[in-house]
Amino acid sequence: MPFIDLRIDPMPTAEQASLLAHGITDALAEEAGKRREVTAVRIAGSQALLWTVGGERSPVTTAYLDVKITQGTNSREEKAALIERLHRLLAETLGALAEASYIVIHELPAESWGYAGLTQAARAGGN
């Protein structure tokens, strides 16, 4: 049940956002084995007054993609492949990206998050 939060500056078009949402969901399913039906993607403009890189406003798109997954459910290799694929998707959809565009994978303990009122640990038969 991944949750993905993508912040982009400048704001993507509706078409770009749709391509990104579908592409991110596909990448999580295909690279990390996550279930599409519980993969949530939120895409928004940065909503920052000023987003800078090196103290200057970037002349190209800046992105921060935050992925939350259950701890221990993916290998180092799967996570590396996912980061590479997501970066490629961002660049292909948005064009040139600032070097300081980041993809971060947060692995959360199964007992610390869930959906539909159950933790991931409870779904796996744990506490």
Looking at the structure of the chain, the number of domains it has is: 1
Q: Which SS3 state, helix, strand or coil, does residue 100 take?
A: coil
Q: How many other β-carbons are positioned within 10 Å of the β-carbon of residue 38?
A: 11
Give how far the C-alpha of residue 31 lies from the chain's centroid of Cα atoms, to the nearest Å. 13
Domain that holds residue 117: 3-123
Is a pLDDT exceeding 90 seen at residue 45?
Answer: no
Question: At 107, which CATH number?
Answer: 3.30.429.10
**Global pTM value:** 0.90
What's the pLDDT tens digit per position in 86-122? 999 999 999 999 999 999 999 999 999 888 899 999 9
